[in-house]
Amino acid sequence: MSFSIERYKEESKKVDVTGIAWDDVTKHPLSKGDLFCLHYMMDIENHVPLYLSHLLVTRACMDPILTAFLACWNYEELWHGENLGRLLNLYGIEFDTQERIANVRANLGFQNSVSIFSTMAGSWLLKDFSAVYLTIGAINELTTLTAYGALIRKSGHPVLKDLLGRIIKDERRHYAFYYNSAKEWLSGNERAQKVDRWMLDRVWVPVGKGVKKQEEVDALAVYLFGDEQGEEELLEIDAQIGKLPGLAGVKLMSKALYTARERIGKNPRWGHRLIENEEWAINPPTRSPVGELTTRRTPATEEAVVP
Ligand SMILES: [Fe+2]
Ligand SMILES: [Fe+2]
């Protein structure tokens, strides 16, 4: 698995959706579980531009190769979210994408600002912060592409399969960048390996946690990976990340699945109820009107007036 930043800069573009049979989206059913996952995935893809604000304040971003990657990566992720939203809208689920994104962000509240500050402080205090940052990037990208593969399998929806297949190709490139960069940083660097391992065991959370609540993370994990094949796929993620220097035997995604199962063991409705009740709408927060946060006072559908 090789990666060339020069080639990536030259070839980076928005996912090509030419020829996708959008007209056939409604010809094939999606289950409530599929729809729940699609909303989750879309929200997390759409969260990337804001997540970037956490990444750019770190010591890792003194590296121009990393910032070049992030500039292209951010644009590609934007189009993943856009196209997942397009598919959902065509399937008949009505929402305004910009309003939904604004609501997701507004619900993050003050915690988002605190988190930016703690990430920044952590990165400047820890010399090997980059190792942690790059490893988490690798796990997130590998988890994302594995989850898209699982959703293709679960849904059996041909149009979704075509779209996700194209998005997966982008995610593989992202994974290659993070994995190779993490390997480079960790190779022959015992201190970085120790810091990385310590942080992964204690502060790592599955992709989307923070934007999504624990129960939502569990619902997605159990829907996509709760069967035998899914569990094997998660174990394979751990095995891949375990090949990085100093991370042999690391348990991340498998641990996330097992703890989700424990919570379901205590409360059998945990997670499932969100899917059954179709709880994928995003409501604005009660105390912070989105208009105040986005400075938008007019509906997004109104045409902009050029001064
Ligand atoms: Fe993506
Ligand atoms: Fe990605």
Mean pLDDT of all residues in 272-295: 80
Band (pLDDT 50/70/90 cuts) for residue 285 is: confident
Q: Which ligand is nearest to the CA of 137?
A: 2
Is residue 300 over pLDDT 60? no
Computed over every residue of the chain, the mean pLDDT equals 92
What's the rounded Cα separation, in Å, for the pair 44 and 46?
5
What does the pLDDT read at residue 307? Answer: 61
Band (pLDDT 50/70/90 cuts) for residue 207 is: very high
What does the pLDDT read at residue 291? Answer: 60
Q: How far is the CA of 141 from the centre of ligand 1 (A)?
A: 8
Q: How far is the CA of 170 from the centre of ligand 2 (A)?
A: 6
What does the pLDDT read at residue 203? Answer: 87
Question: What residues have a C-beta under 5 A from ligand 2, the ion?
Answer: 141, 171, 174
Q: How far is the CA of 287 from the centre of ligand 1 (A)?
A: 31
Flag the least confident range among 176-180, 223-227, 247-251, 296-300. Answer: 296-300
Q: How far is the CA of 268 from the centre of ligand 2 (A)?
A: 33
What does the pLDDT read at residue 35? Answer: 98
Is residue 306 over pLDDT 80? no
pLDDT tens for each residue of 192-201: 999 999 999 9
Q: Which ligand is nearest to the CA of 79?
A: 1
pLDDT tens for each residue of 153-178: 999 999 999 999 999 999 999 999 99
pLDDT tens for each residue of 99-132: 899 899 888 877 777 888 888 888 888 889 889 9
What does the pLDDT read at residue 122? Answer: 84
Q: How far is the CA of 289 from the centre of ligand 2 (A)?
A: 31
